[in-house]
Amino acid sequence: MSKSNTILYLDGVSVSFDGFRAINNLSLVLDKGEMRAIIGPNGAGKTTMMDIVTGKTRPDEGEVFFDGQVDLTKHDEAEIAMMGIGRKFQKPTVFESHSIEENLMLALKGPRSIFPALFHRRSAAEARRIDDILGIIRLGDKRNELAANLSHGQKQWLEIGMLLAQDPKLLLVDEPVAGMTDAETEETARLLKDIARDHSVVVVEHDMHFVRELGVKVTCLHEGSVLSEGSLDFVSADERVVEVYLGR
Partner 1 sequence: MITGRFFAAGADRRIAITILILLAAAIIVPLLNLAVSPASAFYIPSYIVALTGKYLCYALLALALDLVWGYCGILSLGHGAFFALGGYAMGMYLMRQIGSRGVYGNPILPDFMVFLNYKELPWFWYGFDHFWVAAIMVLAVPGLLAFVFGWFAFRSRVTGVYLSIITQAMTYALLLAFFRNDMGFGGNNGLTDFKDILGFNVQADATRSALFAASAITLALAVFITWAIVGSKYGKLLMAVRDAESRTRFLGWRAENVKLFAFTVSAVMAGIAGALYVPQVGIINPGEFEPSNSIEVVVWAAVGGRGTIVGPIIGALLVNAGKSWFTGALPEFWLFALGGLFVAVTLFLPKGIIGMWDSWRGNARAQRAASLAEEAGTDPDVPPPKVVRSAATKPGDWSASGPEPQPAE
Ligand X SMILES: Nc1ncnc2c1ncn2[C@@H]1O[C@H](COP(=O)(O)OP(=O)(O)OP(=O)(O)O)[C@@H](O)[C@H]1O
Interface with ligand X by CB under 6 A: which residues? 17, 22, 40, 42-48, 90
Judged by CB under 8 A, does residue 113 bind partner 1? Answer: yes
Judged by CB under 8 A, does residue 74 bind partner 1? Answer: no
Nearer Cβ to partner 1 (34/51): 51
Q: What is the distance of C-alpha 113 from the center of its chain? A: 24
Q: To 5 degrees, how large is the angle CA 88–CA 37–CA 39?
A: 95
Nearest alpha-carbon partner for 129 in 151, 153, 110: 110
Judged by CB under 5 A, which stretch of 7-15, 64-72, 89-97, 107-115 contacts Mg ion?
A: 89-97
Judged by CB under 8 A, does residue 107 bind partner 1? Answer: yes
Nearest alpha-carbon partner for 87 in 53, 115, 60: 53
Q: Which does 192 bind (CB under 5 to 8 A by kind): ligand X, Mg ion, partner 1, none?
A: none
Judged by CB under 8 A, does residue 93 bind partner 1? Answer: yes
Contacting partner 1 within 134-173 (CB under 8 A): 146, 148-149, 162, 166
DSSP strand pairing (20-31 vs 170-174)? unpaired
Asked if residues 191 and 160 have their Cβ atoms less than 8 Å apart, the reply is: yes
Judged by CB under 8 A, does residue 125 bind partner 1? Answer: no
Q: Which does 74 bind (CB under 5 to 8 A by kind): ligand X, Mg ion, partner 1, none?
A: none
Judged by CB under 5 A, does residue 47 bind Mg ion? Answer: yes
- Please, what is the minimum distance in Å from the beta carbon of residue 197 to Mg ion? 26
Catalog residues that contact Mg ion under the rule CB under 5 A. Answer: 46-47, 90
